[in-house]
Amino acid sequence: MMCGGLTELQNGNDEIQKICNIVKSQAQQKTGKTYDVFIAKSYRSQPVAGTNFFIKVHVGGDDYVHIHVLQSLPHVGAGLELADIQESKRHDDAIEYF
């Protein structure tokens, strides 16, 4: 991985699912939708002043969203913030920087 670049695609795991669980309400507020299903399927990350996570999330049926979450450095104390969300994604859509 190049410094500052995105990592290779990785499968969702418990850590990434925890991030999704924390920002789920922010995603629902931003889209005006309620998600009964919100499961991390895959992700890429980017080390910056903290870490950017770009996560593909299954939200039911054939529907997915891509979320961009910023995890601040521990000394900043800001925690996790949903920076952006892309709706109307599919299983095969690549996760890119946004």
Residue 52 lies in a domain: yes
Residue 95 lies in a domain: no
Residue 94 lies in a domain: no
- Residue type (1 letter), 14: D
d(CA 73, CA 50): 5
Instruction: Give the per-residue pLDDT at 72.
Output: 85
Q: What value does the CA radius of gyration of the chain take, rounded to a whole number of Å?
A: 13
Q: What is the pLDDT of residues 3-39, one digit of tens each?
A: 568 999 999 999 999 999 999 999 999 999 999 999 9
Tokens of 98: 């946004």
What's the pTM? Answer: 0.91
Domain with 64 in it: 10-89
Q: Give the total number of structural domains in the chain.
A: 1
Residues, the chain: 98
Residue 1 lies in a domain: no
Residue 34 lies in a domain: yes
Residue 24 lies in a domain: yes
Mean pLDDT of the chain: 92
CATH number for position 29:
3.10.450
